[in-house]
A and B are shown apart, each in its own frame.
Chain A
Amino acid sequence: MYSDQHLRVSDAERQAVSGQLAEHFAAGRLDQAEFDDRVGRAMSAKTRGDLRELFADLSETGAPAGPELPRGDGGTQGGGPHGPGSPIEFRLDAASGVPTYLQLVHQVEHALRLGYLTLGDQLPKVRDVVASLAINPNTVLKAYKELETKGLTAGRPGQGTFIQATLSQVALPELAGLRKALLGWLVAADGAGLDEDGMVALFTSALRDFHERRSGSRTRGGAASSETEGVA
């Protein structure tokens, strides 16, 4: 499709590809050995063709045939490197209990991680989202504003909203180390008598705590303590 197989790649592009490989690894499509191998090849890749090879057997998940790397000019009007329009399409899970705008935010982040979206891509136009999902436009605007606050997107007046950053990539050794620590914690929790649902509940509660602490709101530890109460 692309005749740019021979073009040289930058460090940013290598990092982006590593991140995408990490997503596939977390999803279970690659095992540890394959993952290590491919990341190594990504870091030493010279051309776009090299990078594209790494995803050759991952495309049946629906990911593009290769990472569609940003063109030099960053995309002209109406869409980014994937051509006119947005590469992604939103969906809505009405029963999930998660607020609509958050679902949209998560879907964008998820798409970024998996490579459906890259730098310069355009998010679906507000009107198109409204027409296909029948949701309030303010919800879409809220989601896009949230993404902008997170620094992931930027709005271009008259044109739309575009991806301007990828999600921060964790360096490879740290990722492996975190995984190992997590496995250790799981073993300990199992030894303490927690079942899998209990582990998920504990993790979710701690995550919420962490989030609230990080965004500065106060919860007087009641949530965490009653979680352990409830579980025991």
Chain B
Amino acid sequence: MTALTMPARPEQDASLRPVPWRRMAWVTWRQHRFALAGVAALLGALAAWLWLEGLHAHHAYAVAADCHPASSGACGNLVGYFLTYVSTAQTIAIVLQAVPALIGAFVGAPVLAREMETGTFRYAWTQGFGRWRWTLAKLVPLAIAVAAAAGAFSVLFSWYYQPFLTQTVSFNFQVPLDSGLFDLRGVAFAAWTLAAFAIGALAGMLIRRVVTALAATLAVYTGLALAVGLYLREHYLTPLLVKNASPPASAWVIGQQWYARGGQPVSQSTLGQVLQTAPQLAGGKGGIPQDDPTVNQYLVQHGYTLWTTYQPGSRFWPFQWIEGGWLLALSVLLIAATVWLVRRRAA
């Protein structure tokens, strides 16, 4: 049996240097440019809107703040005009909560899910680049890209929201540490976007179907964000307590509780009954006006103690670093898990 002759090959494969990492840059870009363009379009549109709206709000604020005397009717009108921007700002803050989840899901989940669903992993993972390097070379640049875009956006957002956080004209209705605001500013927005991306990537690898992985990413992210916003964030550092007084300005009030003379917590209904004895202070049927200094003073005089738990506004940045830090660690862990799964997975 004549065997086919093998012609001599000029290249030697004795030294098998891996294919350089940078080769994947074009591949990642080409395959995910629509997702990235979508992110750019979304953030770009929102940024444009924020920029325009923000210019107006800043102007209105500046005019109102410079108005003297502050108590005059004309200045009051200016303040009122500025305050018309508040509801929009609050609405936009709510809408932006969804952005990290959307970015993470739509960019992160399809990376692996689409390859598994369409079967193209049978092409991609049999090329010379190697499957785990391929995965890493895709996930890391995409993660950095979305996090950077989100970070830039949140800088713009902070600028936009700045007039609504000051204490002079506003009625101090929101503080930086507030749950609905904290995760849109500082490093948190970028960190949450990164985490959403990492969740999406892992979900894509586990679920292997794009739509299902997308839905799962949104669900997991929502659960996590709620858990952190409602429970975890309060405890990054031990909260401070203040007795019978208001916490300092821009503090984030976590809880307030009245205690009776003996030290037991007192319910609102009991307090309501106490207030019946001074009807001029009661603010409606059975309701206790909150933060009303005269009411508080009355209750204190009757032997009740008000303990307020809060986090001071000065802890904004420490909390940002804490939250950003553990979200970053989580993201790294999730991406590492994804790469590990890729290495291990059998067809």
Contact = CB atoms under 8 A, between A and B. Distances in A.
B7 to A, nearest CB: 13
Interface string A124-149: 00000000000001100110010000
B160 to A, nearest CB: 68
Contacts of B3: 138
A112 B3 CA distance: 28
A138 B1 CA distance: 8
B2 interface: yes
Band of interface residues on A:
under 10
B347 interface: no
Contacts of B1: 138
Contacts of A138: 1-4
Interface of A: 137-138, 141-142, 145
Nearest to A141: B2
Contacts of A137: 4
Lowest 3 CB-CB distances: which A-B pairs, in order? A141-B2, A138-B2, A137-B4
Interface in B1-54: 1-4
Query: DSSP majority for the A interface?
Result: helix
A153 to B, nearest CB: 15
8 contacts: A137-B4, A138-B1, A138-B2, A138-B3, A138-B4, A141-B2, A142-B2, A145-B2
A174 B1 CA distance: 40
A155 to B, nearest CB: 12
A84 B291 CA distance: 105
A141 B5 CA distance: 12
Contacts of A145: 2
A145 B4 CA distance: 14
B91 to A, nearest CB: 68
Given A137-B4, A138-B4, 6 more contacts: A138-B1, A138-B2, A138-B3, A141-B2, A142-B2, A145-B2
Contacts of B2: 138, 141-142, 145
Contacts of A142: 2
Nearest to B2: A141
B2 to A, nearest CB: 5
A49 B1 CA distance: 46
Nearest to B4: A137
A137 B2 CA distance: 10
Nearest to A145: B2
Nearest to A136: B4
A144 to B, nearest CB: 10
A168 B269 CA distance: 124
A142 B4 CA distance: 12
Contacts of A141: 2
B106 to A, nearest CB: 46
A105 B4 CA distance: 20
A158 to B, nearest CB: 13
A137 B6 CA distance: 13
A145 B1 CA distance: 11
Nearest to A137: B4
A141 B3 CA distance: 10
B165 to A, nearest CB: 76
A87 B2 CA distance: 26
A139 B173 CA distance: 88
A137 B4 CA distance: 8
Interface in B258-292: none
A16 B260 CA distance: 130
A37 B1 CA distance: 48
Interface in B139-162: none
Nearest to A144: B2
A63 B4 CA distance: 35
A142 B2 CA distance: 8
A15 to B, nearest CB: 34
A104 to B, nearest CB: 15
B6 to A, nearest CB: 13
A141 B4 CA distance: 9
A141 B2 CA distance: 8
B115 to A, nearest CB: 33
A122 B4 CA distance: 21
Contacts of B4: 137-138
A162 to B, nearest CB: 19
